[in-house]
Structure 1
Amino acid sequence: MSTEPLLAESRRRLQRLSSSSSSPSSDMGYENGMVHEDVLDAYRDDHDADLVTATEARSLSRGLGQRHLSMIAIAGAVGTGLFLGLGGAIQTAGPLGALLGYAIVGLIVCAVTFALGEVAALLPVTGSFVRHAEFLVDPALGFAVGWNLVYGAALSIPSELTAICVLFTFWTEDVHPAAYIMSFITLTFIVGIAFVRVFGEVEFVFALLKVLLIVFLIIFDIIVAAGGIPGIPATGFKYWRDPGPFVEHIASGNWGRFLGFWSVLASAVFSFAGVESIAMPAAELRNPARAIPRACKRVFIRVLLFYMLAIFVVGLLVASDDDRLNDSSGTAAQSPFVIAASAAGISAIPSVVNAVVITSAWSSSNQTLLSGTRVLYALALKGQAPRVFLRTTSWGTPYACVLFYTAFMFLSFLSLDSSALTVFWYLVDLTAASVLVSWITVLVNHIRLKLAVTKQGIPVSRLPWHNWWSYYSSVLALIMCIIILLTGGFEVFTAGNWSASGFISAYLDIPLVLGAYLIFKYIKKTRIASLKSIPLDDAIIQAEQYPDDPQEKSDGWKRAVSWIWD
């Protein structure tokens, strides 16, 4: 099917809407880095806010750059799961079982980030894959996933603040937890309401601290494993031989070793949680068509490298049957890095790890607040949330959305009462599977984009970013995500292991999302968009007409460290 008539009509529409000025920027509806509102209003009217809207261009500020986006992605993916959670994976599956589990999920993350990058480079809208789902699949899917994310974020932020209180008990229990809660509610609100660049700089610093610590710990643990510390014998692959590379879990023999490996997949998914939110503030990015693909490519390599090396060296230094892995304090005491370093007698490492884990928890709450507010703002743009959430400050922050989430932060005070805390964690468990739901949505969006491009006869070279193999990787990753989603709670169905909370966290999010999808579909009578009807020509023209600014290279001392994000 030829797309020339469609493209010609879209160009004529743009020319009619553009200024009569003879300058190229005016002809394209683009001047001084800002999109003319008449052009964007036309897109909004034509596509019901599927493309970048006048509201976004007018009300939000493009305050995030390449280095912010790259480091935000690192900050989101390298968190408490890496510093505290690897020990549990080794205990359950053994050093090789845990390594294979994280490697498989790492490949899934690769597919997800590339799929998200390709779609977001074409559609750099606020709300990212939530809006992509409405454009490429069905408005009902965007509604269901969007409100699932809003609900999850509203409960995830207070849960992170509660975790911070637990982490501080590693040093002292003399300070009342309410003081920590109130302090971090205030700090989180300040970062959330400030200019988006403030958030970017805070996350940049936190991510840099994480990178420096994990690099130090990996190098230090390799030295310890090799016998480089005087008086400490080399361990080598000692623990791979005894107790062995795999651990039997629930069952015995090879089946039990396989179940141990499989149980790591679900925990590994949540360790990587956060990478899917990389494009949430796309409308607030400078040069999104370049920044998003770069962040997806480079950040994935660094995150995967950190995780693979980290779990490898921890498996060399900590035995899977080490009793210290049973520590459930939630502080640095349970970190396998701390356990590994204890043999070297360096007393400062536990405190350093605990301090960075605190920044990780707060960083996670900041990033969840950013993602949640942008999704809520995007839902309001589509008329699926009250329009009051479109209100922004003069510096471009959706303050009504921030105030909405700030109110939920006070749920963290439930941690001061044991019975209330039990109810609170049940509420949090309702969306524990939302990470996989989000990944599935990202992959479905990408597959639909690739199929629509083929159906409409549009050359893939016209997409801002594309890879020939990404369609196949998305299909394989989608299959794996569905399998992990359906089997992630298999343990509760085995003899003697039933747990209501385990069942809820593994499966209840599925009917919640399906219910929201079907109810919205029934009320609004929405339909799954046909591949031919998806208006890709307008999206491509918008991307072509508004190119990125020339790239600025780091120079001087910045070049020595800019490899982390550049």
Structure 2
Amino acid sequence: MSVPVVEKPEDGLDLSKAESNRQGEVISDNELHRDLKPHQVFMFSIACAIGTGLVIGTGPALTKGGPGSLLIAYILMGAAVFFVMTALGEMAAFLPMNKGFGGYATRMVDPALGFATGWNYFIKYVVVLPTNLTAAGLVIQYWRPDLNVAIWIAVFGAVVVFINLLHVNTFGETEFWFGFIKILVMTTLILTCLVVSLGGAPNHFRSGFYYWQSPGAFAKYLLDGPKGYFLGFWASVCQALFAFIGCEVVGMTFGETPNPRKNIPKAVNQTFWRITVFYILGVLVLGMAVPYNDPQLLGATKQSTSAAASPFVVAMNVGRIKVLPDIINASLLVFTLSGASSDIYCASRSLYGLARDGQAPQIFAKTVKSGSPIYGVAISACFIALGFMNASKSASTVFGYLVSLVTIFAVWNWVALLVSYISFRRALKAQGISVKELPYVGLLQPYGAYYSLFICILIILFSGYDAFIPYFKADIFVLKYIGTAIFLLNITWWKIFKRTKWVRPEDVDLVTGRREYGERESPTDNDWNTGFWKTFIARHKK
């Protein structure tokens, strides 16, 4: 095995560039900087995992499927997400790339798949960006209904763009505190639901698992009888998947994370605890505190945002707790601003990766001194203007269609990531590289990847079930499946236009950017003559 040549930096050399040199990367003026700190990556992974999909989106899943279906659905999807993250962790720790998820698809599978994946991520996040800003404006209208939402779209849009133009370390620190607030909010919500279900709220009703008996653990949806119960469960599964979307976004930071073979596994391993505590435990106590047929819950599912739309706030109302709803509404402002900031980050990095792979104009690969892909941020920021469509009722309807359209893109991107990982494992075997040589090996892999891939394909195929029941609805059918058609057309178009070929396992590049033993053990250890060289010599003594 070859070891990359590691040179001792001369006095005055930029240590960030030296760090990247040690990691086997080619340095140029247009490289992203590996300046995100481990604690920032850790908290960013939490900030991406906790969003309005969890705080608000659990309501429809509870009303359609009941607490039993809700819990089972979140366990099934939580396992799928965990395997997606460990698959990503294996590839990123061994071959960390700053080209986003599309870069892995291009390298491991086919440039056509990488093209479709990268543009899917870009489109998804530039459309979701104005959605989060609109939600932030609606949260403010909770207190100031006299002010137009467009004002807050402009104000908050300027703030999140400014954050993304700063040094990546500043962005990481901002997301760190956003994530910290999210942890406090979710912990408060979970504990409050537990207190309500145990009779500690002002209503003094100890519900426990009473609501699992009356009205019951499972709800019927669309149809009566066993089919209705199954559709209720499947509706919960689909809703759970969309609540989990975004958990993988921390992978976007891996291209700007120092010592990836050490820090990436740490970030990935935290996924298990995030899923267990915030998702599974959260929906468990929610099902204990709120019956799925509660009139407040049924009304909340018809709203789009604000605290009133959250089933956790409904739980507080059931327990007659009057103070927390206002606090939760204020917290949702943090959720939406954090989401908008990370939307620009993900969109610009996706565009940067596409440009680096020759799948987008090269101008988007340009970075400024701070390491920010300036033109990628600028073009992403232009899509904030879509938020002003909500000023018109007809335009807001079209905008709602756009949001629903790109949601399925996220599922396809999971599929692309999993296919890339399976190809990665096959390439390791074909090229005689033992799994033991990997810096990180995921639990139950590669079998977990096949499980996640099976779940994702099922949801893609049957997510539009409600378009056929009780009668065929053409608009819902188009909305649920046109995203799949666009993804497949992107693959086909690029494959024909560029005449790309499927990469054979023995031809996959497992060398460029590969982490060897010459990498520094700690990003904060600046003692080259002791820490680094002693470790290097000890590992190659034999």
Q: Same fold (TM over 0.5)?
A: yes
**Structure 2 residue aligned with 1:245:** 217
1:373–1:401 Cα contact (<8 Å) kept: yes
- Residues 243-274 of structure 1, C-alpha deviation per residue, up to 9 Å, x if partnerless? 10000112222221111011111111111111
Quick one: structure 1 residues 53 and 274, their matched pair in 2 at CA, closer, same or farther if it must change by over 3 Å? farther
**Structure 1 residue aligned with 2:477:** 503
Report the number of matched residues.
520
| Residue 307, structure 1, aligned to residue 276, structure 2 | no
Single out whichever of 227-236 and 302-311 deviates more from structure 2. 227-236
> 5 Å matches for 1:329-348?
329=303, 330-348=305-323
Give 1:545 shift. 3.4
Give 1:139 shift. 0.8
> 5 Å matches for 1:19-34?
25=8, 32=15, 34=17
> 5 Å matches for 1:266-285?
266-285=238-257
> 5 Å matches for 1:546-561?
546-549=519-522
**Structure 1 residue aligned with 2:164:** 192
Single out whichever of 370-379 and 144-153 deviates more from structure 2. 144-153
Q: Return the match for 1:257 from 202, 205, 229.
A: 229
What secondary structure, in the 3-state scheme, does the structure 2 residue paired with 1:34 have? helix
**Structure 1 residue aligned with 2:45:** 73
Looking at structure 2, the residues matched to 524 and 235 of structure 1 have their Cα atoms a distance apart, in angstroms, of 62
| Residue 168, structure 1, aligned to residue 145, structure 2 | no
2:352–2:373 Cα contact (<8 Å) kept: yes
Give 1:498 shift. 1.9
- Work out the percentage of aligned pairs sharing the same amino acid: 32
**Structure 2 residue aligned with 1:457:** 432
| Residue 59, structure 1, aligned to residue 31, structure 2 | yes
**Structure 1 residue aligned with 2:289:** 317
Letter in 1 for 2:346: S
2:290–2:318 Cα contact (<8 Å) kept: no
1:232–1:343 Cα contact (<8 Å) kept: no
Give 1:506 shift. 2.1
1:136–1:448 Cα contact (<8 Å) kept: yes
1:460–1:466 Cα contact (<8 Å) kept: yes
Looking at structure 1, the residues matched to 142 and 501 of structure 2 have their Cα atoms a distance apart, in angstroms, of 53
| Residue 430, structure 1, aligned to residue 405, structure 2 | yes
**Structure 2 residue aligned with 1:98:** 70
What secondary structure, in the 3-state scheme, does the structure 2 residue paired with 1:536 have? coil
Letter in 2 for 1:480: I
TM-score when normalising by structure 1: 0.87
Quick one: structure 1 residues 422 and 229, their matched pair in 2 at CA, closer, same or farther if it must change by over 3 Å? closer
2:86–2:443 Cα contact (<8 Å) kept: no
> 5 Å matches for 1:137-536?
137-229=109-201, 231-325=203-297, 326-327=299-300, 328-329=302-303, 330-467=305-442, 469-496=444-471, 498=473, 500=475, 502-536=476-510
Letter in 2 for 1:273: I
2:201–2:319 Cα contact (<8 Å) kept: yes
1:225–1:235 Cα contact (<8 Å) kept: yes
1:127–1:371 Cα contact (<8 Å) kept: no
Quick one: structure 1 residues 539 and 459, their matched pair in 2 at CA, closer, same or farther if it must change by over 3 Å? farther
Ranges in structure 2 where 5+ consecutive residues have no aligned partner: 526-542
Looking at structure 2, the residues matched to 53 and 24 of structure 1 have their Cα atoms a distance apart, in angstroms, of 14
1:78–1:303 Cα contact (<8 Å) kept: no
Give 1:427 shift. 2.4
1:289–1:548 Cα contact (<8 Å) kept: no
Looking at structure 2, the residues matched to 299 and 459 of structure 1 have their Cα atoms a distance apart, in angstroms, of 25
Looking at structure 1, the residues matched to 251 and 329 of structure 2 have their Cα atoms a distance apart, in angstroms, of 29
Looking at structure 2, the residues matched to 77 and 36 of structure 1 have their Cα atoms a distance apart, in angstroms, of 29
Looking at structure 2, the residues matched to 33 and 164 of structure 1 have their Cα atoms a distance apart, in angstroms, of 36
Looking at structure 1, the residues matched to 20 and 323 of structure 2 have their Cα atoms a distance apart, in angstroms, of 56
What secondary structure, in the 3-state scheme, does the structure 2 residue paired with 1:316 have? helix
Looking at structure 2, the residues matched to 403 and 537 of structure 1 have their Cα atoms a distance apart, in angstroms, of 33
Q: Return the match for 2:518 from 537, 545, 557.
A: 545
Give 1:24 shift. 5.8
Looking at structure 2, the residues matched to 124 and 332 of structure 1 have their Cα atoms a distance apart, in angstroms, of 39
Letter in 1 for 2:45: A
Give 1:499 shift. 5.4
TM-score when normalising by structure 2: 0.91
Give 1:467 shift. 3.3
1:269–1:435 Cα contact (<8 Å) kept: no
- Residues 49-107 of structure 1, C-alpha deviation per residue, up to 9 Å, x if partnerless? xxx44347x63222211111111111111111111121211100001111111110000
What secondary structure, in the 3-state scheme, does the structure 1 residue paired with 2:447 have? helix
**Structure 1 residue aligned with 2:56:** 84
Give 1:333 shift. 0.9
1:464–1:543 Cα contact (<8 Å) kept: no
- Residues 165-222 of structure 1, C-alpha deviation per residue, up to 9 Å, x if partnerless? 2222222311122221111111111111111112111111111111111112212221
Ranges in structure 1 where 5+ consecutive residues have no aligned partner: 1-6, 44-51, 553-566
1:377–1:389 Cα contact (<8 Å) kept: yes
Letter in 2 for 1:293: P
Looking at structure 1, the residues matched to 119 and 7 of structure 2 have their Cα atoms a distance apart, in angstroms, of 41
Quick one: structure 1 residues 83 and 538, their matched pair in 2 at CA, closer, same or farther if it must change by over 3 Å? closer
**Structure 2 residue aligned with 1:48:** none
2:96–2:513 Cα contact (<8 Å) kept: no
Give 1:369 shift. 0.9
Cα RMSD between the aligned structures?
2.3
